[in-house]
Amino acid sequence: MSATLTDKYPNYSPGLEGVIAGISTISEIDSDRSSLQYRGYDVHDLAEHGSFEETAHLLIYGKLPNASELASFKKTLTDERDVPEAVYTALKALPKTTHPMDMIRTAYSVLAPFDPDYAAPATDDAANVRKAVRIIAKAGTMVANGHRIRQGLEPLKPNPEHGIAENFLYLMSGEQPPAKTIEVMDASLTLYAEHGYNASTFACRVTVATLSDLYSGIVTGIGTLHGPLHGGANEEAMKMILDIGTPDKAQAWIDDALEGKKKIMGFGHREYKKRDSRAIYLTKVAKELGVEKGDTRFGDIADILEKTMEDRKSIYPNVDFPAAYAYYLLGIPIDLYTPIFVIARVSGWSAHALEQLRNNRLIRPKCIYEGAANLPYVPLAQR
Ligand SMILES: CC(C)(COP(=O)(O)OP(=O)(O)OC[C@H]1O[C@@H](n2cnc3c(N)ncnc32)[C@H](O)[C@@H]1OP(=O)(O)O)[C@@H](O)C(=O)NCCC(=O)NCCS
């Protein structure tokens, strides 16, 4: 964007930066205090003391559940966790090289017509809440079984005893995951659940605001999340860390990268100009995990990158940076990192879709036309 155009159109903000596009009661990002709250609760408290199911309930129903509400919500999630065979048939038909983000996007498309509320009008709030719960319940099953399918393995049945984090880990590996792995996964799902008007959430709201259906909003969200400037950054961050390899190579690597004006994946944020609150908590968790596993090389690489980025650019890690090496230490394949983000963020997308539809207005901004005008039409034979 040239300076002349921004001068000429003072109301134009490239990338909608700083533009207020809605009013929401779902989450609040406070950039100065590096804080993130979901419906008034600090995410650190939710991640440390609660469960992802509590967070999902908070986002969808607007309140933290009491014990009986939580038990009933968990039971519904368990009852809804299975997936129609047609979803697996479709995933089996995809090339084995299909990225798991494309698999989960496809899975939701196939799933939509099987929803018992498929025929309900887009504005039927009660039906949308039921759909949202089904969407949240099935995400982990579809990502994990999609992973099995691309390895030529058969999908596994979810174990009704498992919560969302445990279900995903169990189906992904076919083995009972250790308690610490479940705990870290659960906390990361809470941290990834919701984040205001980020690109994928905004895209989801744009879709449902046309009175298209909730599943289409989710599919839109997944497509938007996939890019490396958004959710795809956690995968790119891990590839970068592995490319660096060992802490003794980190300083030269980052010096080179900055010299070459490279974007450092997992750093920077449109909303946080100081620290990303989620990264503060997850860095602590990821480093503890490294110590526990006797492998502190990623935490050591992270320290060098973080210090250099802070000193030279005043840019800090975002949630995707510690999430990347935490997931790696948990033994999760790199291309499942962004799909894990989906397992969490379907709760935030759904909450936003419900909010949008309860007070809907078509989202339709303007653009400035800067192209040619009033050209005479030249017949094809004369061009
Ligand atoms: C997230 C992101 C897209 C936000 O971008 P933004 O608000 O549009 O900010 P910009 O990309 O315009 O960056 C502003 C400046 O900071 C620099 N910058 C921002 N993030 C950077 C990064 N990760 N590495 C190096 N420089 C970075 C830009 O180069 C730019 O510098 P300049 O003004 O000298 O050109 C950006 O920080 C980024 O691309 N990060 C890497 C991808 C990532 O981790 N995404 C996940 C976000 S949760």
Q: Tell me the C-alpha to C-alpha distance, in Å, between residue 331 and each of 171, 320, 328.
A: 14, 16, 5
Rounded CA-CA distance 222/52 in Å is 19
Q: Which protein residues touch ligand 1 with a CB less than 6 Å away? A: 15, 229-230, 233, 263-270, 313, 315, 318, 320
**CA 268, chain centre distance (Å):** 16
Distance of alpha carbon 172 from alpha carbon 321, whole angstroms: 22
The contacts of residue 290 (CB under 8 Å, 6+ apart) are: 296, 297, 298, 299, 325, 329
The number of beta carbons lying within 10 Å of the beta carbon of residue 76 is: 15
Is this prediction's pTM over 0.75?
Answer: yes
The CA distance from 146 to 172, in Å, is: 9
CA of 91 to the centre of ligand 1 (A): 35
Mutate to test the pocket of ligand 1, among 253, 263, 272 (most ligand atoms within 8 A of CB): 263
pLDDT in tens, the chain (383 residues): 556 777 889 999 999 999 999 999 999 999 999 899 999 999 999 999 999 999 999 999 999 999 999 999 999 999 999 999 999 999 999 999 999 999 999 999 999 999 999 999 999 999 999 999 999 999 999 999 999 999 999 999 999 999 999 999 999 999 999 999 999 999 999 999 999 999 999 999 999 999 999 999 999 999 999 999 999 999 999 999 999 999 999 999 999 999 999 999 999 999 998 889 899 999 999 999 999 999 999 999 999 999 999 999 999 999 999 999 999 999 999 999 999 999 999 999 999 999 999 999 999 999 999 999 999 999 999 99
